[in-house]
Amino acid sequence: MERLYYNNQYINEFLADILDISFVDDKYLVELDKTAFFPGGGGQFCDLGTIDNIEVIDVFEKDKKIFHVLNKKPSNLKNVNCKINQKRRLDGMHQHFAQHILSGCFYKLFGKNTTAFHLGKEFSTVDIEGELSLDEIKKVEEYANYIINQNIEVKTLIPNKNELKKIKIRRDLPDTDDDIRIIHIEGLDTNCCCGVHPKYTLEVKVIKIKRWEKHKNSTRVKFLAGDRAINYLFKRDYYLTDVCKVLKSTDKEATLYIDNLSNKLKDTKKQLLDLEKKVIDFEFESLLKNSKPYHSDKIDNLNVIIKRYDENINYLNKLCSKVNDVENTVMFLAYNNQIFLSCSKNLDIDLKKLLPSNFKGGGSKFLIQGIVSNGLDDFFDNLDFNIRKEVL
Ligand SMILES: [Zn+2]
């Protein structure tokens, strides 16, 4: 079975004969006499496309045979027309080959080898041994793009065992009796790989490192290459232009302006909290002054404050909490159907006992928060009644 993708990595249409069709797990596995469908390998995903206009949903290799997975059985066996999804092939080839370039750069510049590679749907990752500094990342990114722009020919060698011993290869060779394919980028890297590669480095167009993080004993470097990188960079540029318009800044000034805004926001929040505290203190004093004290044998001068507010819940919570700082006071505040109840710590009152049945909530002995399901007016009337009954 001839592997056309190794002779010409740009074939996107070819004719082939079907040698065998097997039916496994409700799918048809088709073997061809020759194929340009790459079955995946070296971290590169497999090709998809069509055979005789029937969609190829997967391609894999087993026992040196390549199987094309179809949902429908092809009716013709001779000279079937096969088409490769070229966009997917080129994308996979560019991301995969970008890893070769990055791995070569990390090794050449800093002697750090590659421990893993993953080609993802959105971005890819290459794991580099040890830790990496920002300076190293920047140098590798710059050098990788320099290598791309040098348009270096990518050579594929299949040396015999003796020739292989003389070649300096970056990583350990696989333990196999099969031919070993060596991918050589002049002046940068030599490594074995079963993937499909472009003819020249310039085809990768550009490599952009997105971010990096520690991963086990390596550093995982996320990157984009080819059209993925170009689309990403264009998008980022649009975003930055929008951000600068809002900030009325240049690109360089943007982060400085955001820092300034963030600091101003912090100062403003602090001022707002100081003012809020003053307002709450003032409000609380005013409520105490205007409340008519209840008198009884049990307790003299009991201040009972019941009031509805339009302010936010946080404000009411703080206002209610102030009752704990004074003596002989109970307070009931409402915002819509939300209720805050509190009483002074010197009072031997169980707030929960005062609550009408349509209240749901919880809290401490001196501060309770909850909601009234319906009839706020009745709720307050009942509350007032219960207080009198309990205290007076
Ligand atoms: Zn490769």
> Are residues 141 and 41 located together in one domain of the fold?
no
Q: How far is the CA of 72 from the centre of ligand 1 (A)?
A: 32
**Same domain (yes/no): 240, 95:** yes
Spatial distance between the Cα atoms of 195 and 172, rounded to a whole number of angstroms: 17
Alpha-carbon span 330 to 342, nearest angstrom: 6
pLDDT over threshold 80, residue 229: yes
Distance 158 CA to ligand 1 centre (A): 14
- Ligand 1 mean position to 101 CA, how many Å? 10
pLDDT at 376: 80
Instruction: Kindly report which listed range (60-69, 212-221, 379-388) carries the lowest average pLDDT score.
Output: 379-388
Residue 71 in domain: yes
Same domain, 37 and 126: no
The answer to whether residue 391 scores a pLDDT higher than 80 is no
Q: What is the pLDDT of residue 159?
A: 94
Is residue 266 in some structural domain? no
Residues 191 and 240 in one domain: yes
Cα 126 to ligand 1 centre (Å): 13
Rg, Å, the chain Cα set:
37
- Residues 123 and 236 reside in one and the same domain: yes
Phi, psi of 101 (to 5 degrees): -65, -50
Question: What is the CA(104)–ligand 1 centre distance, in A?
Answer: 12
Tell me how far the alpha carbon of residue 189 lies from the centroid of ligand 1, in angstroms.
Answer: 11
The H-assigned helical ranges of the chain are 4-7, 86-110, 134-149, 161-166, 226-247, 254-290, 313-321, 351-354, 376-391
In-domain check, residue 275: no
Q: What is the CATH number of the domain that holds 127?
A: 3.30.980.10
Domain stop point among 84, 114, 149: 84
Is residue 85 scored above 90 in pLDDT? yes
Same domain flag for 236 and 96: yes
Residue 39 has pLDDT above 90, yes or no: yes
Q: How far is CA 315 from CA 89, 278, 280, 340, in A?
A: 60, 12, 8, 11
Given a cut of 90, is residue 114 above it in pLDDT?
yes
- How far, in whole angstroms, is CA 149 from its chain's centroid? 31
Which SS3 state, helix, strand or coil, does residue 306 take? strand
- 314 and 374 housed in the same domain: yes
Ligand 1 centre to CA of 92 (Å) is: 10
Give residue 121's pLDDT band: very low, low, confident or very high (50, 70, 90).
very high
Domain coverage including residue 49: 2-84
- Asked if 126 and 224 count as a contact pair (C-beta separation under 8 A), the reply is no
- DSSP conformation letters of 226-267: HHHHHHHHHHHHHHHHHHHHHHT--TTTHHHHHHHHHHHHHH
User: Are 13 and 113 found together in one domain?
Assistant: no
Quote the Cα angle for 10-12-14, to 5°: 115
Q: Which of 84, 101, 125 is the last residue of a domain?
A: 84
Query: What is the C-alpha separation between 45 and 59, in angstroms, rounded?
Result: 9
Tens of pLDDT, residue by residue over 243-293, are 999 999 999 999 999 999 999 999 999 999 999 999 999 999 999 998 878
CA of 129 to the centre of ligand 1 (A): 19
252 CA distance to ligand 1 middle (Å) = 38
- Is the per-residue pLDDT at 199 higher than 70? yes
Any domain includes 254:
no
| Dist. CA 332 → ligand 1 center (Å) | 73
| pLDDT band, very low/low/confident/very high, at 31 (cuts 50, 70, 90) | very high
**Span from the CA of 276 to the centroid of ligand 1 (angstroms):** 64
96 with 210, same domain: the answer is yes
Instruction: Please tell me the predicted confidence (pLDDT) of residue 355.
Output: 82
Q: State the distance from the centre of ligand 1 to the C-alpha of 279, rounded, in angstroms.
A: 69
The answer on pLDDT for 118 being more than 90 is yes
pLDDT band at 313 (very low <50, low <70, confident <90, very high): confident
CATH number at 376 reads 3.10.310.40
Higher pLDDT, 300 or 83: 83
pLDDT greater at residue 301 or residue 28: 28
Q: Is 349 helix (H, G, I), strand (E, B) or coil?
A: coil
Q: Exposed/middle/buried for 56, CB within 10 Å: 0-12, 13-18, 19+?
A: buried
Q: What is the mean pLDDT of the chain?
A: 93
Say how many Å lie between the CA of residue 154 and the centre of ligand 1: 11
Tell me which residue has tokens 């088709």: 30
100: CA distance to ligand 1 center in Å?
6
Contact by Cβ (8 Å): 367, 390: no
Tally of domains in the chain: 3
Q: Which comes out higher in pLDDT, residue 193 or 354?
A: 193
Q: Is residue 274 part of a domain?
A: no
Is the pLDDT at 390 greater than 80, yes or no? no
Residue 278 lies in a domain: no
Confidence of residue 58 (pLDDT cuts 50, 70, 90): very high
Q: What is the CATH number of the domain that holds 8?
A: 2.40.30.130
% of the chain residues with pLDDT over 90: 72
> 74-79, long-range: CB within 8 Å, 24+ apart, which pairs?
74/18, 74/21, 74/28, 74/30, 76/18, 76/52, 77/17, 77/18, 78/17, 78/18, 79/15, 79/16, 79/17
How far apart (Å, rounded) are the C-alpha atoms in residues 348 and 51? 86
Residue 65 has pLDDT above 90, yes or no: yes
**pLDDT tens digits, 131-141:** 999 999 999 99
How many A from CA of 366 to the centre of ligand 1? 70
The residue-averaged pLDDT of 29-53 equals 96
User: Rounded CA gap, 347 and 369, in Å?
Assistant: 19
Mean pLDDT across the stretch 152-172? 93
Looking at residue 373, what is its pLDDT?
A: 81
Q: Are 241 and 356 in a shared domain?
A: no
Cα(163) to ligand 1 centroid in Å equals 20
> Looking at residue 310, what is its pLDDT?
84
Ligand 1 center–CA 57 separation, angstroms: 23
Whole-number pLDDT of residue 352: 82
Q: What is the pLDDT at residue 392?
A: 66
Question: Given a cut of 80, is residue 53 above it in pLDDT?
Answer: yes
Domain assignment present for 167: yes
- pLDDT at position 301, please? 80
Last residue of a domain, one of 245, 280, 300: 245
Let me know whether 80 and 94 are in one domain. Answer: no
Residue 309 shares a structural domain with residue 379:
yes
Structure-derived torsion over alpha carbons of residues 56, 60, 65, 66, reported in degrees to the nearest 10 = 30
Residue 262 within a domain: no
